[in-house]
Amino acid sequence: MRKIIPYVLLVPTFLIIGMFIYWPAVYSLRLSTCRLSPFGNRMIFVGFRNFVKLFNNKEYLFSIRVTVLYVLLSVVITIFLSFFIALLLEMKVPGHTIYRMLIFTPYAISPAIAGTLWSFLLNPVVGHVNYLFSKFFGISVDWITSKPYAFYAIVFASVWKTMPFDVIFYLAGLQNIPDDLLEASTLDGANWWTRTWKIIFPLLSPITFYLVIMNIISFMFASFAIVDVMTKGGPGNYTTTMIYRLFLDAFAFQKTGLASAESVVLFVIMAIITFLYFKYAERKVHYQ
């Protein structure tokens, strides 16, 4: 009986996972090979026609390009900015506890609220960012509706929203680095820059390894709310990422088969990225 109890306790978990993850995934895979009849009353099998149509669509190919640039830029900025902020927060300056609490605040709000806040901050008329730009540089930028500033705007908002998550992990890692090691490097003549890049950052490589893949997943999928609130994919699809293109095709244009094919493409891309990342990047991780 004792051997059966653990499996019985796992049944609710497997039911929820099956209902809300595996079954929708299988159903989406099925829909990707079909199209709805003109009256929407039955599905017609079309094989790989949706995928062929997808990769002949210039708008979708452009959304792939936007997503790659958006994810790469956001991940790099988030990782390095979080690392340096964690270094600053680790210093025992007066009020450092308050600073830590404030820096974690953005992670507590939803992506939609983050997009709304940045929409106000970047507003060309009443936004604080444009006020500072006009006051100190004499220029005013239309961040939300002009190229390439709309792209920069969603990157700013995404980094601001995700950065506290990374800072938490880097802070935890910094607290586990032996002080004796840093003191010995100082006695050997290592300056701050050398200690940071030759000792501290390599020791935190397991954390960086984890954060990079988590950030890629976050920016690939969680970017929808920020894009929808701030730019709605504009101007002229300039900020339309793959996940937002999927939303448009599924709910705005009612292209169910095409949208399902896009979800399969997203799954395959993330599977390939995860496999390659764990296969090659893990070699450079140094576990203590």
pLDDT tens digits for 85-122? 999 888 877 777 788 888 888 888 899 999 999 999 99
Half-sphere exposure of 145 (CA within 13 A, CB side): 5
pLDDT on residue 96: 74
In the structure, what pLDDT confidence band is assigned to residue 210 with cuts at 50, 70 and 90? very high
Give yes or no for residue 35 having a pLDDT over 90. Answer: no
| Whether the Cβ atoms of residue 63 and residue 249 lie closer than 8 Å to each other | no
| Percentages of the chain per state (helix, strand, coil), in multiples of 5 | 75, 0, 25
Say what the pTM is.
Answer: 0.90
Distances 116 to 110, 205, 236 between C-alpha atoms, Å: 10, 34, 21
Share of the chain above pLDDT 70, in %: 97
Residue from 120, 140, 118 nearest 130 by CA: 140
Per-residue pLDDT at 219: 93
Question: How do the domains of the chain map onto residue ranges?
Answer: 56-284
Q: How sure is the predictor about 287, in pLDDT bands with cuts at 50, 70 and 90? A: low
Which pair of structure tokens corresponds to residue 285? Answer: 């991780």
Distance CA(225)–CA(253), nearest Å, equals 18
CB under 8 Å to 27, separation ≥6 — which residues? none
Q: Are 211 and 169 in contact (CB under 8 A)?
A: yes
Among 245, 200, 213, 269, which residue's Cα sits nearest to residue 75? Answer: 213
Any idea which residue has 């079954």 for tokens? 23
**Domain covering 56-284: architecture:** Orthogonal Bundle (1.10)
Are the beta carbons of 244 and 227 closer than 8 angstroms? yes
The SS3 assignment for 57 reads coil
pLDDT category at 17 given cuts 50, 70, 90 is very high
